[in-house]
Structure 1
């Protein structure tokens, strides 16, 4: 058995303790941010899903920046690809190609990713109902939000909220 095998089990409780102290001294938001940056859950209750933030990258020379900002301000609304392209005065085809070059994913995937991020933020920082969070994040229904979060994070919105609220307890 290597020395790493003996050392690793001691690291996990130490990480848990550090996150507990951060949560107690600086609040849940700080502890959650540190947990994400160190790729550990903020509170472990048996399921060890990874909760890494994946914001859209900022390209060096963006040509879809205005459309992305426009869409980000309207996530709660239905957003059509042609409307995003119009923000940049480009055809849908050119806009889609530029978006993919800059961000690495399609505009639809980018919108979904930002909606998941908005839902995550609201689940962590508010007491809004699942229906209200689904609406505010642009999923329309709680069922749609559940499917998207399950697909993106591997957990339900309720499980996510429980994990990231006050040490895992609601």
Structure 2
């Protein structure tokens, strides 16, 4: 899943790739990770988006596409739900905190 974050992944696709039924895949995934496949995927996409926002100047619109959120509005909504801020505000806050203190 991590290698294909930008792709539109579904539970059915993941189950087929794992050679399991949808129900078995969801049950086993939850047993191993403690969460659902889609919740795990969303968290992984947010983590990748955070990395891109922290370490690059890639525009927010492109970050959404690179991480599988697609439209910038989807990325913004996910950031607000999970982090309580927008991607642009996150980038600004992270860069401000990363600046060395002036003496």
- TM-score, structure 1 length as denominator? 0.56
Moved over 4 A (4+): none
Normalized per residue, which structure has more helix?
2
SS at 1:165 equivalent? helix
Aligned to 1:85: 15
Which of 43, 48, 65 is matched with 1:118 structurally?
48
Q: Please tell me whether the aligned partners of residues 96 and 106 of structure 1 are also in contact (alpha carbons under 8 angstroms).
A: yes
> Is the counterpart of residue 131 in structure 1 residue 75 in structure 2?
no
Counterpart-to-counterpart distance in 2, 1:167 and 1:113? 23
Counterpart-to-counterpart distance in 1, 2:10 and 2:18? 14
Structure 1 residues without counterparts, runs of 5 or longer: 1-70
User: How far did residue 75 of structure 1 move?
Assistant: 0.6
1:81-100 C-alpha deviation (Å, 9 max, x unpaired) = 11111222110100000001
| Structure showing greater Rg | 1
Counterpart-to-counterpart distance in 1, 2:10 and 2:78? 19
Structure 2 residues without counterparts, runs of 5 or longer: none
User: How far did residue 168 of structure 1 move?
Assistant: 6.1
